[in-house]
């Protein structure tokens, strides 16, 4: 009798302990605030896809803040950097219980091709431009769980493209002309779509019962906000649990207020984006003369940008332009103010100070340029003002041109200006995805031949040669060597400069711990929901 | 000059004179430069009467320099509006097709929704001070035009105009020597009223983000404050003062216009 | 009567002209609308997709043909199709108008009613201390810009005393059908409506007051008082009828404000109404949406002007008699 009693008591204690553990791990709901504009909440809508990357359509691999890649849906294998074999992890299932297989990977590639991407087939644009296919061939394994993709050319950084590769359901979508909303939201991640309430501005998700690991929150709710001000106030007052804006951290203006609040914890990570870039038009206008570019970059006082626009973690960039967290980063000389050098370069360009303090050339024309920036970006506005104040005092007159997004794009990128970029100098913000695209090192923004970006309009032969070396690199060492050369090029020719480097700061409620941050998606990633706990 | 009228004039002119001195001699009020960068987000203190904003500019200095911008835009657009309204109003009284066309123009502009059309037009006109003046004047002239039209129609039927025409004076002469002088009091009244509405319109447009940011007017100051998180910081030294200044300025114009109207009423009686 | 008929016909002609303007204005904005349909996702739009959008937006057709398409879209009830938001323009406007109306309709009704009663009371008791204090106070209120009022109210009620919510129309967990939804909605509406009422009240009050002041000088008011009619009867049966005309016109003008919404208020209180819809349309060069909004706003404007003109004719018999007197 006593033995039975003790064993029952023991069993009850165990059960209690189990429920305690389970209850301790179960957070009833996590509310995430975001300023993204979402109209329909379906795959195909860019902003929703970024959001769903943390809930229903998680990418193939993930990258942590130190740059290390981990398998998330598939593991990878490669010997030469040309053929990559992806094997779906055990237990991955769609939300109806069907297994996720490598056929879904193939289906996704083919589906994107049908909508204009150049994965397995090359595409011809209406003006005759041909985009070559990325993959030369593929091979599915017999059990359907692996696929080997052969690239057209070796790419040591291929994994960087896979950390935003989302799968589409072959068994559900194949052969259908139009898809219902439910089909467009059908996913395989740790959560499944529950509801999109447009009036209240919420998108909610419930756990996917077939996902192999248990999530720690019973519900995920994304709350849409119109402006960041109200969102940060909601975080401060505890209405929401964390804040997420794709590829952007908490704005520097708000960091000290949020940091002082007891409800909020701020997590800062080294960033590979460039929050404020001064890009010159190297092909047209006054900055096609390298001396003038160098002069302006030596005339600016970078400490002002760091102190007034950046957060407490900001620091002054190097001439090599890319921040320290970038793959292939090389130490180059820090940017700094040197008015004597600036004057010397201006003299070399033919400009000297007249009596009024203005720089004029022999014909008496004053040196001036127009600085274009996006009027709705607060940090660009501040930087533009500071640049104008400093250069006006130095003797170069600056005209500010703050534009709305339409007009700004029409002046600063190839795609929207129809290959006629008219800015003389402009402020940009480069996302880390954009910096890493193509051959990395923000080359898509600098290369004048890039179809979409190309703001800095560089057509220089040296630049193209180094670019070729970067894309031809077969090993990481070769790539790093070429990247180093590119950074030297940036430092020497000052085609674009960063105004300040900053960390990406993420904001969450103070009561959470074991937070996992993804390099591309910040707080909104699957790993976070598997590890986060409340204190 | 009744006691009331004197009181009104004093109440009106005093703040206006104060702001005009501020506009022309900003150095008297503040020793800081407009773009001097001090420590950001300071609270009001002896050094900085209203504290500093996110870029470290002294807020009171911005207010002082903003007086010039606000007054400039308000007065200039009101003048422009007045000229436009008077011209179109008179043109609409012409007999025949031109008159009907201009009258139609007045009615069309009355129908268009103001703020919305302004926003669409500002998207491709630009944001500088000159363009803002044009934008504000673009709708304000309608009221003036209608009043001018009514008055000119009334005048045209007066005997003394008829006798001028009979005596053989040209139409131009009649307009400049007889009709216009009789419009002066109406134009003055509309001008003062117009400045008020121009200042309001300008501050609303600036608040919505359409306006020159480097030399901010009072409306732009509120916009910048709002966008830079002044709410979150409970920066009550930053948000209300420009709006209060706008209020004082428009009150002063209103009182002056009431004093003018009182004089007109006296003569009529 | 004839004058009003002329007015109505002129309004209609001008409306047709405005339709033309609505068509032309968006197309004058800089930029290529197709580029914005694909956004800035740093990927190219394929030639197939470009072709599709070019056809759908009729960008290849000549201007007159585009205009015919535009007219057709006006008459078939959809007001066009917004490719950016992937919905009919009329549906989009319908959704957002309801949101905006929740603020502007109560504000217009309240401010009109308050202005009427208050202005009547002040004008009737000319130069009393009630009149003087009310008028001075409301003149000062009139001078305050609307965003200043909004900011002060938000600071007082939202931050300082913390009794009213200051953003949005509902708390994040509230949906229709849940208990307490209506109370929550009313609480959220209080501040924006109060702001609008305070902004619109002074002009109505002042107009009412000056008309009543002028009217109380008339002899028939003196006779009515002599006969012992109560103040209320004099005010609302005699004076109001006579001075209705300009007041009704003013109310009519503000109806168009109802639809256009108050951009400033929506901005400060983060309300997703017509104002946000318009700025979205302008930002993304969404031609159909821009045209639709301008069309609807102007249409309501015209209708309200026609309606107020008719109401004036009906309410003020003098207009009818004047005409007849002239003809006699």
Highest mean pLDDT: which of A61-65, A429-433, B4-8, B103-107?
A61-65
Which stretches of chain A sit within 8 Å of chain C by CB? 31, 37, 39-40, 46, 115-117, 123-126, 131, 197-202, 221, 223, 225-227, 230, 233, 239-240, 404-407, 409-410, 413, 415-416, 418, 433-434, 437, 444, 451-453
Q: The domain that contains C194 carries what CATH number?
A: 1.10.3720.10
Q: What is the pLDDT of residue A487?
A: 93
The average pLDDT across A430-434 equals: 81
Q: Cβ B120–C263 below 8 Å, yes or no?
A: no
CA geometry: angle B214, B218, B220, nearest 5 deg: 50
* Coil, helix or strand at residue A395: coil
* Nearest one of A524, A478, A446, A486 to A34, comparing CA atoms: A524
CB A467 within 8 A of CB A427: no
* Nearest one of B245, B207, B241, B212 to B226, comparing CA atoms: B207
Classify residue B36: in a domain, yes or no. Answer: no
Per the structure block, which two tokens stand in for C309? 């003109």
More confident residue, C216 or B120: C216
* Nearest one of C135, C140, C85, C94 to C115, comparing CA atoms: C135
* Nearest one of A268, A259, A334, A272 to A499, comparing CA atoms: A334
More confident residue, A282 or C25: A282
Q: What is the pLDDT of residue A85?
A: 92
Give the tens place of pLDDT for each residue, A99-118: 999 999 999 999 888 876 77
Q: Cβ A124–C47 below 8 Å, yes or no?
A: yes
Residues of chain A positioned with their CB less than 8 A from the CB of C181: none
The average pLDDT across A57-71 equals: 89
More confident residue, B222 or B265: B222
At a CB cut-off of 8 Å and minimum separation 6, what does B152 contact?
B89, B90, B93, B179, B183
Residues of chain A positioned with their CB less than 8 A from the CB of B56: 308
Give the tens place of pLDDT for each residue, A312-334: 888 899 998 998 888 888 899 99
- Which helix (H) or strand (E) segment holds residue A461: the answer is helix A461-472
Residues C300 and C170 in one domain: yes
CB A242 within 8 A of CB A507: yes
Task: Write the ipTM.
Answer: 0.77
Rg (Cα) of chain B, in Å, rounded?
A: 22
Per the structure block, which two tokens stand in for C261? 């919404």
A106-114 long-range contacts, CB within 8 A, separation 24+: A106/A138, A106/A140, A106/A147, A106/A170, A107/A168, A107/A169, A107/A170, A107/A173, A107/A174, A108/A165, A108/A166, A108/A167, A108/A168, A109/A135, A109/A138, A111/A168, A111/A173
Which of B111, B119, B204 is the closest to C18 by Cβ? B111
At a CB cut-off of 8 Å and minimum separation 6, what does A501 contact?
A271, A274, A275, A310, A314, A315, A316, A317, A323, A324
Classify residue B219: in a domain, yes or no. Answer: yes
Confidence of residue C154 (pLDDT cuts 50, 70, 90): confident
> Is pLDDT at C162 greater than 50 in this prediction?
yes
Q: Cβ B113–C301 below 8 Å, yes or no?
A: yes
More confident residue, C99 or A346: A346
Residues C289 and C274 in one domain: yes
Beta partners for A267?
A506
Residues of chain B positioned with their CB less than 8 A from the CB of A308: 37, 40, 54-56
Domain finish residue from C64, C87, C110: C87
Per the structure block, which two tokens stand in for B202? 């300008």
At a CB cut-off of 8 Å and minimum separation 6, what does C229 contact?
none
Residues C115 and C49 in one domain: no
Nearest-Cα distance to chain B for A250, in Å, is: 12
The average pLDDT across B142-151 equals: 84
| Count of domains observed in chain B | 1
Which of B104, B113, B222 is the closest to C147 by Cβ? B222
Interface test with B, best of A303, A374, A381 (most B CBs within 10 A): A381
What CA–CA distances, in Å, run from B76 to B63, B69, C282, C307? 20, 10, 28, 36
pTM for the predicted model, two decimal places: 0.79
At a CB cut-off of 8 Å and minimum separation 6, what does B216 contact?
B62, B66, B69, B206, B224
Partner A contacted by B35 (CB < 8 A): yes
Which of A233, A308, A404 is the closest to B55 by Cβ? A308
Per the structure block, which two tokens stand in for C141? 């209120």
Query: Out of A460-474, C5-19, C86-100, which region has the weakest mean confidence (pLDDT)?
Result: C5-19
Confidence of residue B207 (pLDDT cuts 50, 70, 90): confident
Highest mean pLDDT: which of A266-280, B5-19, C143-157?
A266-280
Backbone region of residue B38 per phi and psi (left: phi > 0; alpha: psi in -120 to 50; beta: other values): beta
* Coil, helix or strand at residue C230: coil
Classify residue B263: in a domain, yes or no. Answer: yes
Q: What is the pLDDT of residue B163?
A: 86
Q: The domain that contains B180 carries what CATH number?
A: 1.10.3720.10
Beta partners for A318?
A334
Q: What is the pLDDT of residue C214?
A: 78
More confident residue, A407 or A17: A407
Partner A contacted by B213 (CB < 8 A): yes
Q: Cβ C148–B236 below 8 Å, yes or no?
A: no
Which stretches of chain C sit within 8 Å of chain A by CB? 29-32, 35-36, 39-51, 85-87, 95, 167-170, 172-176, 270, 272, 276, 280, 282-285
Give the tens place of pLDDT for each residue, C70-113: 777 777 777 777 767 777 888 888 888 888 888 888 898 899 88
For the four alpha carbons of C147, C153, C158 and C163, in that order, the dihedral sign comes to negative
What CA–CA distances, in Å, run from B125 to B130, B134, C28, C280? 10, 10, 10, 18
Partner B contacted by C4 (CB < 8 A): no
| Torsion angle of the four alpha carbons A63, A68, A70, A75, in this order, in degrees rounded to the nearest 10 | 110
Per the structure block, which two tokens stand in for C135? 């008028």
Residues C196 and C219 in one domain: yes
> Is pLDDT at A202 greater than 80 in this prediction?
yes
Longest dimension (CA), chain A: 111
Per the structure block, which two tokens stand in for A374? 């996006």
Per the structure block, which two tokens stand in for A156? 């040591």
> Is pLDDT at A125 greater than 70 in this prediction?
no
Partner B contacted by C10 (CB < 8 A): yes
Confidence of residue B267 (pLDDT cuts 50, 70, 90): very low
Classify residue B71: in a domain, yes or no. Answer: yes
Burial environment of residue B188 by CB neighbours within 10 A (0 to 12, 13 to 18, 19 or more):
middle
The average pLDDT across A414-437 equals: 83
A15-18 long-range contacts, CB within 8 A, separation 24+: none
Per the structure block, which two tokens stand in for A135? 């993959």
Residues C305 and C291 in one domain: yes
- DSSP label of B131: H
Chain C residue with minimum CA distance to B250: C143
Interface test with B, best of A389, A405, A407 (most B CBs within 10 A): A389
| Count of domains observed in chain C | 2
> Is pLDDT at A11 greater than 80 in this prediction?
no
The average pLDDT across B58-63 equals: 88
- For chain C, the residue count is 328
Position of tokens 């209708």? C303
* Coil, helix or strand at residue A306: helix
Confidence of residue A208 (pLDDT cuts 50, 70, 90): very high
Q: What is the pLDDT of residue C200?
A: 86
Q: What is the pLDDT of residue B148?
A: 86
What CA–CA distances, in Å, run from A375 to A228, A237, A255, B120, C184? 16, 29, 21, 16, 36
Helix B240-268 vs helix B3-24: crossing angle, to nearest 10: 140
Domain finish residue from C57, C87, C117: C87
The residue segments making up the domain with residue B108 are 3-31+45-268
Nearest-Cα distance to chain A for C172, in Å, is: 6
* Mean residue pLDDT across chain B: 81
Q: Which residues of C45-81 are buried (b: 16+ CB within 10 A; e: fewer)?
A: bbbeebeebeeebbeeeeeeebbeebeebbeeebbbb
- DSSP label of B96: S
> Is pLDDT at C32 greater than 80 in this prediction?
no
Q: What is the pLDDT of residue A535?
A: 84
Q: Cβ C40–A409 below 8 Å, yes or no?
A: yes
Q: What is the pLDDT of residue C257?
A: 65
Partner B contacted by C36 (CB < 8 A): no
Per the structure block, which two tokens stand in for B124? 């491709």
- For chain B, the residue count is 269
CB B197 within 8 A of CB B253: no
Confidence of residue C39 (pLDDT cuts 50, 70, 90): very low
- The alpha helices in A98-158, defined as continuous H runs, are 102-114
Chain B residue with minimum CA distance to C279: B119
> Is pLDDT at C38 greater than 70 in this prediction?
no
Residues C182 and C238 in one domain: yes
* Mean residue pLDDT across chain A: 86
CB A104 within 8 A of CB A173: no
Domain finish residue from C31, C62, C87: C87
Per the structure block, which two tokens stand in for A42? 């379906």
Residues C6 and C75 in one domain: yes
Give the tens place of pLDDT for each residue, C254-277: 776 666 557 778 877 878 788 778
The DSSP annotation for A196-227 comes to EETTTTEEEEEE-TTSSS--SBS-EEEEE-SS
Residues C132 and C247 in one domain: yes
The average pLDDT across A20-40 equals: 77
Give the chains touching C; criterion: ≥3 Cβ pairs < 8 Å: A, B
> Is pLDDT at A397 greater than 50 in this prediction?
yes
Residues C219 and C312 in one domain: yes
CB A62 within 8 A of CB A516: no
Residues of chain C positioned with their CB less than 8 A from the CB of A226: 270, 272, 276
- DSSP label of A93: B
Classify residue B38: in a domain, yes or no. Answer: no
The average pLDDT across C170-187 equals: 73
Confidence of residue B268 (pLDDT cuts 50, 70, 90): very low
CA distance A450 to A350: 33
The average pLDDT across B178-191 equals: 82
Residues C151 and C223 in one domain: yes
Residues C159 and C30 in one domain: no
Q: What is the pLDDT of residue A507?
A: 93
Residues of chain A positioned with their CB less than 8 A from the CB of C175: 197, 199-200
> Is pLDDT at A239 greater than 80 in this prediction?
yes
Which of C14, C147, C290 is the closest to B207 by Cβ? C147
The residue segments making up the domain with residue C69 are 2-87
> Is pLDDT at C17 greater than 90 in this prediction?
no
Residues C63 and C102 in one domain: no
Q: Cβ A308–B226 below 8 Å, yes or no?
A: no
């Amino acid at each position: 009798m006593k033995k039975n009693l003790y064993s029952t008591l023991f069993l009850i204690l165990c059960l209690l302990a189990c429920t305690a553990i389970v209850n301790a791990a179960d957070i009833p709901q996590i509310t995430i605030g975001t300023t993204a504009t979402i109209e329909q909440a379906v795959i195909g809508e860019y902003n929703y896809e970024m959001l769903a990357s943390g809930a229903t359509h998680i990418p193939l691999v993930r990258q942590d803040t130190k740059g290390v890649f981990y398998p998330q849906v598939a593991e990878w294998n490669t010997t030469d950097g040309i053929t990559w074999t992806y094997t779906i992890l055990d237990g991955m299932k769609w939300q109806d219980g069907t297994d996720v297989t490598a056929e879904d990977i193939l289906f996704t590639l083919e589906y994107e091709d049908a909508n204009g991407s150049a994965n397995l087939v090359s595409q011809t644009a209406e003006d005759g431009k041909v985009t070559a296919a990325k993959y030369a061939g593929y091979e599915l394994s017999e059990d359907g769980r692996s696929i080997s993709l052969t690239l057209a050319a070796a790419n040591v950084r291929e994994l960087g493209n896979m950390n935003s590769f989302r799968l589409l359901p072959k068994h559900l979508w194949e052969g259908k002309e139009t898809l219902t909303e439910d089909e467009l939201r059908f996913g395989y991640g740790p959560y499944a779509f529950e509801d999109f309430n447009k009036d209240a501005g919420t998108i909610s998700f419930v756990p996917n019962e077939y996902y192999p690991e248990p999530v720690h929150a019973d519900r995920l709710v994304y709350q849409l906000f119109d402006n960041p001000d109200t969102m940060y106030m909601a975080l401060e007052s505890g209405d929401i649990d964390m804040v997420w804006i794709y590829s952007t951290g908490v704005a520097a203006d708000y960091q000290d207020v949020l940091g002082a609040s007891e409800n909020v914890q701020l997590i800062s990570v080294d960033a590979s984006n460039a929050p404020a870039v001064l890009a010159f038009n190297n092909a047209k206008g006054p900055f096609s003369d390298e001396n003038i570019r160098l002069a302006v970059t030596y005339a600016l006082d970078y400490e002002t940008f760091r102190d007034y626009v950046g957060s407490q973690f900001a620091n002054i960039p190097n001439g090599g332009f890319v921040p320290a967290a970038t793959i292939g980063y090389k130490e180059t000389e820090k940017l700094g103010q040197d008015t004597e050098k600036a004057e010397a370069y201006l003299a070399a360009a033919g400009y000297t100070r007249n009596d009024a303090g203005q720089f004029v050339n022999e014909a008496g024309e004053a040196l001036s340029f127009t600085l274009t920036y996006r009027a709705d970006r607060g940090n660009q506005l501040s930087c533009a003002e500071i640049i104008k104040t400093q250069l006006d005092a130095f003797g170069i007159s600056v005209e500010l041109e703050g534009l709305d997004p339409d007009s700004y794009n029409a002046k600063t990128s190839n795609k929207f200006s129809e290959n006629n970029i008219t800015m003389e100098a402009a402020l940009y913000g480069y996302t880390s995805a954009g910096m890493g695209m193509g051959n990395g090192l923000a080359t898509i923004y600098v290369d004048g031949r890039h179809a979409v970006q190309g703001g800095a309009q560089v057509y220089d032969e040296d630049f193209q040669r180094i670019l070729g070396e970067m894309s031809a690199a077969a090993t990481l060492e070769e790539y790093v060597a070429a990247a180093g050369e590119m950074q030297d090029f940036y430092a020497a020719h000052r085609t674009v400069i960063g105004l300040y480097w900053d960390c990406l700061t993420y904001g969450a409620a103070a009561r959470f711990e074991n937070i996992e941050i993804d390099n591309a998606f910040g707080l909104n990633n699957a790993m976070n929901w598997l590890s986060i706990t409340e204190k | 000059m009744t006691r009331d009228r004197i009181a009104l004039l004093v109440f009106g002119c005093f703040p206006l004179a104060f702001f005009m001195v501020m506009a022309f001699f900003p150095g008297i009020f503040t020793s800081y430069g407009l773009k001097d960068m001090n420590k950001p987000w300071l609270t009001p203190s002896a050094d900085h009467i209203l504290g500093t904003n996110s870029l470290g500019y002294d807020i009171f200095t911005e207010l002082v320099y903003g007086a010039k911008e606000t007054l400039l835009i308000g007065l200039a657009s009101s003048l422009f509006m007045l000229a436009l309204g008077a011209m179109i109003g008179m043109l609409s009284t012409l007999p025949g097709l031109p008159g009907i066309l201009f009258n139609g123009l007045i009615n069309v502009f009355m129908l268009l929704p103001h703020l919305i059309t302004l926003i669409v037009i500002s998207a491709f006109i630009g944001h500088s001070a000159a363009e803002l003046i044009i934008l504000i004047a673009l709708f304000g002239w309608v009221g003036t035009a209608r009043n001018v039209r009514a008055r000119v129609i009334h005048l045209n039927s007066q005997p003394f105009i008829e006798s001028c025409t009979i005596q053989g004076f040209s139409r131009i002469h009649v307009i400049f020597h007889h009709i216009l002088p009789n419009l002066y009091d109406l134009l003055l009244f509309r001008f003062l009223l117009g400045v008020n509405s121009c200042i309001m319109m300008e501050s609303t447009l600036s608040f919505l983000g359409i306006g020159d940011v480097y030399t901010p007017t009072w409306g732009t100051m509120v916009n910048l404050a709002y966008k830079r998180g002044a709410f979150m910081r409970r920066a009550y030294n930053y948000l209300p003062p420009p709006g209060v200044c706008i209020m004082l300025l428009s009150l002063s114009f209103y009182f002056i216009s009431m004093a003018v109207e009182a004089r007109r009423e006296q003569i009529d009686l | 009567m004839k004058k009003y008929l002329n007015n109505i016909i002129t309004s209609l002609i001008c409306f047709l002209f405005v339709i033309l303007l609505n068509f032309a204005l968006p197309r004058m904005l800089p930029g290529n609308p197709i580029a914005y349909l694909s956004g800035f996702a740093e990927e190219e739009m394929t030639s197939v997709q470009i072709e599709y959008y070019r056809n759908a937006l009729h960008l290849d057709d000549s201007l007159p043909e585009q205009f015919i398409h535009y007219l057709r879209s006006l008459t078939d009830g959809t007001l066009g199709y917004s490719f950016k938001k992937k919905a009919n323009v009329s549906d989009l406007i319908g959704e957002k108008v309801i949101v905006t109306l929740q603020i502007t309709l109560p504000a217009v009704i309240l401010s009109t009613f308050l202005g009427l009663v208050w202005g009547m009371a002040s004008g009737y008791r000319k130069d009393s201390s009630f009149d003087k204090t009310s008028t001075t106070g409301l003149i000062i209120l009139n001078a305050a810009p609307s965003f200043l009022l909004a900011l002060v109210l938000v600071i007082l009620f939202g931050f300082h005393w913390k009794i009213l919510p200051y953003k949005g129309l509902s708390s994040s967990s509230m949906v229709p059908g849940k208990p307490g939804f209506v109370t929550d909605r009313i609480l959220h509406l209080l501040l924006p409506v109060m702001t609008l009422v305070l902004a619109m009240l002074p002009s109505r009050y002042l107009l009412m007051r000056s008309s009543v002041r002028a009217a109380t000088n008339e002899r028939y008011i003196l006779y009515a008082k002599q006969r012992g009619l109560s103040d209320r009867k004099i005010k609302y049966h005699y004076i109001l009828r006579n001075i209705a005309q300009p007041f009704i016109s003013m109310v009519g003008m503000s109806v168009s404000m109802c639809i256009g919404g108050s951009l400033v208020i929506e901005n400060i209180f983060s309300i997703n109404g017509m104002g946000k819809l318009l700025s979205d349309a302008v930002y993304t060069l969404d031609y159909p949406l821009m045209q639709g909004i301008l069309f609807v706003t102007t249409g309501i404007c015209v209708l309200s002007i026609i309606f107020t003109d008719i109401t004036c004719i009906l309410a003020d018999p003098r207009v009818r008699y004047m005409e007849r007197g002239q003809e006699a």
